[in-house]
Amino acid sequence: SVDFLSLTMTMLLVRPVVRTSARRMSTVAASTVSSDVQSYISEAPAATVSTLGNGVTVASLYNADGSGSGYTTVRLSGVGSRFDTVGGEAAILASSMGGVVGREHISLSSISSLSADAATSNLDALKGNLSCKLAGLSYESQMMDHLHSTAYQNGPTGNSLGNALEGSAESVASVSADDVASLLGGVNGTNVVVVGTGNGSHEKLVAEAEKAYGSLSGASGSKAVGSVADKSAFIGSDVRIRYDSHNTATIALGFEGASWTDPKAMPLALMSTLLGSFSKSDGLGKNVAAAMCQEVADHELASSISAFSLSYSDTGLFGMVATAPDNKLDDLLWYVMPNFVRLAHGVSDEEFTRAKVTLKTQILASFDGDVAAGEQMAQQIGTVGRVVSLTEMMAKVDALTMDDVKAAAGDVINDQDHALVLICLP
């Protein structure tokens, strides 16, 4: 079998089997892209934000005409998979409250009291449901768990990014009622963000939040949002999982990325856009814009590939995940790795301009709809401590330069350790 970890370090010295073809580039004139923010963005109403006495943040962005339905998003920071001590208890708690678990938070779709009673009283049923879900996880979902596990394998018990997002079949079976109940023990007011969107009253939202969360204690210290006591240590490493019945390979490659508050976070988001994504099932087919994806599509090296940039309170992950025939992995990495490395040396003006337009489109799309806008606002308050307006985000993207990308790529990719995960045949 091929040593894929060694391959990623030596592939630049090996001649690929497939032939190199010229990259297709559509014409994108930089002059057509204006740095001026559109009026529907700059004139959009600002969010109303209040803070309860114990630190709970309440924000709203309601329709001026009072039309439509109202939506509420509640984000609990400090409760998520990285804080599991057994594995899966945060996912069980989130499920019992009708929410979704993240690595550093739980997201709820309504205001409800913070109690583990529903989880502890129905623990066996919740564990059974989660075990069934884990059994049906896609290889891509498994891949991201394995990538976090190997990249951050030395995290302390009770605070490790290496924990699986929803645990494993073995750990879920071991979760007790006390394990689930203990998760809420350290939650205080500063961990709670309540956001209302659509139709509603900010004053009423504040009153409801006060009733549900006003009894929580305030923060015991003055630690800033997004800060942690000890930064997670990234470890260059690899893990390989053998499935005899798997006739394709799923591979993930990750470098240490940037935290939410790191100045490199926005350049890395742009770098992810530059690398792009491709799937055979997409309507575009081979007509993708990103150079890396063009080459992968042209030579039929993978059925799908996607770059990502993930941020957490203390660190991040930047890389790509792909599904490909196992006999084409050497050719796939031959084209992928130079596209990563060239980010440290600069890309064409056309690519750069197009990527900035794409990134702004993605940002706007993430706020498309009242529910999505509420989730984004809750995330911003929970990670950077405030609501960041669309005008400010557009301006930040416009302000990015090629030097910003080259500097970020130099820090993250050039001569840096990486973590690699592979699921394939032996």
Average pLDDT over residues 155-180: 89
- DSSP code of residue 45: P
What are the pLDDT digits (tens) for 214-245?
999 887 654 444 445 568 899 999 998 887 77
Token look-up 């809750």 returns 378
Distance between CA atoms of residues 336 and 329, nearest Å: 10
Q: Which of 83, 86, 105 is nearest to 94 (CA)?
A: 105
Least confident of 11-20, 60-69, 257-266, 415-424: 11-20
Per DSSP, the chain holds a count of helices (H) and strands (E) of 16, 12
Token look-up 């929410």 returns 99
Average pLDDT over residues 18-40: 46
- DSSP code of residue 255: E
Which pLDDT belongs to residue 205? 97
Residue of higher predicted confidence among 40 and 324: 324
- The DSSP H or E segment spanning 318 is strand 316-325
- The residue type at 93: L
How does the average pLDDT of the chain come out, rounded? Answer: 86
Which pLDDT belongs to residue 228? 53
Neighbours of 363 (CB within 10 A): 16
Which pLDDT belongs to residue 220? 63
Residue 40, pLDDT above cutoff 80: no
Average pLDDT over residues 298-326: 94
Distance between CA atoms of residues 290 and 270, nearest Å: 12
Residue 34, pLDDT above cutoff 50: no
What are the pLDDT digits (tens) for 70-124?
999 999 998 999 999 999 999 999 999 999 999 999 999 999 888 888 888 899 9
What percent of the chain clears pLDDT 90, i.e. is strictly above it?
Answer: 68
Burial class (CB in 10 A: 0-12, 13-18, 19+), 62: buried
What residues contact 226, with CB distance under 8 A and at least 6 apart? 259, 260, 261, 313, 383, 384, 385
Residue of higher predicted confidence among 24 and 152: 152
Residue 386, pLDDT above cutoff 80: yes
